[in-house]
Structure 1
Amino acid sequence: MNIMILTARFGMGHYKVAEAIKEDIEKNDSDIKATIVDFMSFLLPKTSKLIYTCYDQLVFRNARLYNAIGNASNKVSGLPLKYIIALRISKLVKDNNADAIIVDFPLCSNYISAYKEMSGNSIPMYTCITDVPAHSDWIAEDTRLYFVSSEETEATLIEKGVDADIIRITGVPVRNEFKSDETTKKDIEEKRKLLVMGGGLGLLPGSDELLDRLSHMDDVRVTIVAGKNKELETKMADKYPGFRVLGYTEEISKLMKESDAVITKPGGVTMFEAINTGTPMYIVRPFLLQELGNARYIEKKHIGRVLWYEKDATADDIEAYINNAGDIEAMKDNMYTIVKKDEKCDIITEILSDMGKAELKCS
Structure 2
Amino acid sequence: MPSLPNSAFLLWTSDFGAGHRQTALALAQALEEMDPGGEIEVMDVRQMLHPRLYPLLKAGYRLTLEQLPVLFGQAYRMADRYPLSVSGWYGPRVQLARLRFKALLSERSWQAIISTTGYAAMVMASFRRSGALNAPVATVITDFYAHPYWIHPGTDLYIVGHDAVLEGLRTRGVPRERIVTTGIPIHPAFESAAEKREASRRSEQAEGGSTRPLRLILMGGGWGLFQDLDRLLGALDRSRIPLHLWVLTGRNAELQKALSARPVPSPHAVQALGYLPPEAVADLFAVSDGLITKPGGVTLAEALAVGVPMFLVHALPGPEEENARLFVSLGLAETGDEHALVRWAEKLADPTFHEAWLTRAKPHRPKEAARAAAKAVLRLIPTSLY
Per the TM superposition, whether the score is higher than 0.5 is yes
Paired residue for 1:203? 225
**1:177 partnered with 2:184:** no
**1:141 partnered with 2:153:** yes
Offset, 1:206: 6.1
User: Matched residue of 1:143: which SS?
Assistant: coil
Paired residue for 1:224? 247
Q: 1:193 aligns with which of 191, 200, 215?
A: 215
| Partner amino acid, structure 2, of 1:73 | A
Retained in 1: the 8 A contact 2:348–2:354? yes
| Partner amino acid, structure 2, of 1:238 | A
Paired residue for 2:344? 318
Offset, 1:11: 1.2
State the TM-score, normalizing by the size of structure 1: 0.91
Retained in 1: the 8 A contact 2:219–2:294? yes
Q: 2:374 aligns with which of 328, 348, 362?
A: 348
**Structure 2 unpaired stretches of 5+:** 1-6, 205-209
Q: Deviations over 1:4-61 (max 9, x none)?
A: 0011111111111111111111122202222101000000000111111111111111
Give the Cα separation in 2 of the matches to 1:314 and 1:122.
Answer: 51
User: Matched residue of 2:156: which SS?
Assistant: strand
**1:274 partnered with 2:303:** yes
Offset, 1:209: 3.2
**Structure 1 unpaired stretches of 5+:** none
User: Matched residue of 1:296: which SS?
Assistant: helix
Offset, 1:207: 4.7
Give the Cα separation in 2 of the matches to 1:259 and 1:331.
Answer: 15
User: Matched residue of 1:243: which SS?
Assistant: strand
Give the Cα separation in 2 of the matches to 1:325 and 1:220.
Answer: 16
Retained in 2: the 8 A contact 1:227–1:248? yes
Paired residue for 1:91? 103
Offset, 1:334: 3.4
Q: 2:40 aligns with which of 15, 29, 34?
A: 34
User: Matched residue of 1:224: which SS?
Assistant: strand
Give the Cα separation in 1 of the matches to 2:43 and 2:288.
Answer: 34
| Partner amino acid, structure 1, of 2:347 | Y
Q: 1:214 to 1:301 in 2, by over 3 A?
A: same
Give the Cα separation in 2 of the matches to 1:82 and 1:206.
Answer: 38
User: Matched residue of 2:9: which SS?
Assistant: strand
**How many pairs align?**
357
Offset, 1:356: 2.1
Paired residue for 2:176? 164
Structure 1, 202-211 or 341-350: larger mean CA deviation: 341-350
**1:8 partnered with 2:8:** no
Paired residue for 2:272? 245
- Report runs of 4+ in structure 1 exceeding 6 Å deviation: none
Retained in 2: the 8 A contact 1:215–1:243? no
| Partner amino acid, structure 1, of 2:185 | P
* Structure with higher RCO (Cα < 8 A, 6+ apart): 2
Q: 1:337 aligns with which of 363, 367, 383?
A: 363
Q: 1:314 to 1:129 in 2, by over 3 A?
A: closer
User: Matched residue of 1:193: which SS?
Assistant: strand
Offset, 1:312: 4.0
Retained in 1: the 8 A contact 2:141–2:184? yes
Retained in 2: the 8 A contact 1:132–1:268? yes
Q: 1:82 to 1:290 in 2, by over 3 A?
A: closer
Paired residue for 1:152? 164
Retained in 1: the 8 A contact 2:31–2:371? no
Q: Deviations over 1:141-164 (max 9, x none)?
A: 221111011111011111111001
Offset, 1:96: 5.4
Q: Deviations over 1:216-253 (max 9, x none)?
A: 65621111111111111111111157411111111111
Q: Deviations over 1:158-180 (max 9, x none)?
A: 11110011110011110100113
Give the Cα separation in 1 of the matches to 2:198 and 2:364.
Answer: 12
Q: Deviations over 1:292-319 (max 9, x none)?
A: 1111221222222122xx354453x233
Retained in 2: the 8 A contact 1:261–1:279? yes
Structure 1, 166-175 or 328-337: larger mean CA deviation: 328-337
Structure 1, 34-43 or 320-329: larger mean CA deviation: 320-329
Give the Cα separation in 2 of the matches to 1:326 and 1:124.
Answer: 47
**1:304 partnered with 2:333:** yes
Paired residue for 2:134? 122
**1:358 partnered with 2:380:** no
Paired residue for 2:24? 18
Retained in 2: the 8 A contact 1:226–1:248? yes
| Partner amino acid, structure 1, of 2:349 | N
State the identity as a percent. 25
Give the Cα separation in 1 of the matches to 2:344 and 2:282.
Answer: 22
Retained in 2: the 8 A contact 1:129–1:147? yes
Give the Cα separation in 1 of the matches to 2:147 and 2:73.
Answer: 12
Retained in 2: the 8 A contact 1:184–1:336? no
Paired residue for 2:4? none
Q: 1:259 aligns with which of 278, 288, 293?
A: 288
User: Matched residue of 1:354: which SS?
Assistant: coil
Q: 1:144 to 1:203 in 2, by over 3 A?
A: same
| Partner amino acid, structure 2, of 1:221 | H
Q: 1:107 aligns with which of 119, 124, 132?
A: 119
RMSD: 2.3
